[in-house]
Amino acid sequence: MPTKTYHIGVEATMEIIGGKWKSIILCHLRHHTMRTGELARAIPQISQKMLTQQLRELEAANIVSRHVYKQVPPRVDYSLTDYGKSLSGILHELCLWGEDNIDRRQAAGEDISLMSRDDVI
């Protein structure tokens, strides 16, 4: 494979936390280890397939780790790795900025809303 070239750091970051779901998943995992089903409930719009797919990709990037308990029905949980925790501050700021952005847009009359603001626990 020909060397993959980045031109600026943020490119690499976005490759990892970009996309529709990854940053959302990570924001939830910031607070505590979560089981698959817990994550699915926390992110109601995501499909089962997207959830596992995104988690696999985050695992491959060494951002989350996956613990499988050998039992039936299966029990699997996910948490941030130490390296993943190095994203925690950024994720928090992304959440806060977004909350502020929503406030502003609401104040400007846009018809939008934010369901839960329990990001900060």
Partner DNA sequence: ACAAGAAGTCACTTTAAAGTGCGCTACCCA
Partner DNA sequence: TGGGTAGCGCACTTTAAAGTGACTTCTTGT
**Three-state DSSP class for residue 27:** helix
| Contact of residue 9 among its own copies, DNA, none (CB under 5-8 Å per partner type) | its own copies
Single out the residue of 116, 77, 87 nearest to residue 27, CA to CA.
87
**Three-state DSSP class for residue 74:** coil
Contact assessment for residue 23 and residue 64, using Cβ atoms and an 8 Å cutoff: no
| Contact of residue 74 among DNA, its own copies, none (CB under 5-8 Å per partner type) | DNA
Rounded Cα distance between 105 and 66, Å, is 38
Contact assessment for residue 80 and residue 26, using Cβ atoms and an 8 Å cutoff: yes
Rounded Cα distance between 85 and 77, Å, is 16
The yes or no reply on residue 65 touching DNA (CB under 7 A) is: no
Task: Compare residues 74 and 106 and give the one whose CB is closer to its own copies.
Answer: 106
Question: What mask of x and - would describe binding to DNA in positions 35 to 54, judged by CB under 7 A?
Answer: xxx--x----xxxxxxxx-x
Q: Which residues bind its own copies (CB under 8 A)?
A: 1, 3-14, 16, 18-20, 23-24, 27-28, 43-45, 83, 86-87, 89-91, 93-102, 104, 110-117, 119
Q: Which residues bind DNA (CB under 7 A)?
A: 19-21, 35-37, 40, 45-52, 54-56, 66, 68, 72-77
